[in-house]
Amino acid sequence: MELPRTKYAKNGDVHVAYQVSGEGPIDVVLVPGWVSHVELDWEAPTFTYQVRRVEQFARLIRFDKRGSGLSDRDVGLPSLEERMDDMRAVMDEVGSNAPSFGAIPKAARWRSCSPRRIRSAPRH
């Protein structure tokens, strides 16, 4: 199966790498943990299986946080606000207004920063 193309959203001077896959009626943003790499993640069979399952019912938006993966690396230690702005830049780039979130280590922080841009995912 063909892998999604890596694209870049710009937040100020920082380029944030992201991929979009699937074509479902809802958007799911997969927020990375400490380390991520949108292209190398596909080499892990468990990851690929899980992503392909989500793609059956949603458009999946994945990104590398600034400082990791294919996003700009020499950016220092970003603040929470900068990380949220990076996520919003990706969401704006792909036209996502009310995504659900998956595998989120810091979901509560995002919800508190942008409550109007979040909706709950349907149960499958």
List of domains in the chain: 7-117 (3.40.50.1820)
Q: What is the pLDDT of residues 5-50, one digit of tens each?
A: 999 999 999 999 999 999 889 999 988 877 889 999 999 898 889 8
Segment of 58-72, 89-103, 105-119 carrying the highest mean pLDDT: 58-72
Neighbours of 92 (CB within 10 A): 12
Q: What is the model's pTM?
A: 0.80
**Position with higher pLDDT, 100 vs 30:** 30
- Of 99, 97, 96, 105, the closest CA to residue 122 belongs to 99
Return phi, psi of residue 116, to 5°: -80, -10
State the burial class of residue 82 (Cβ atoms within 10 Å of its Cβ: 0-12, 13-18, 19+): middle
Residue 67's CB is within 10 A of a number of other CB atoms, namely 17
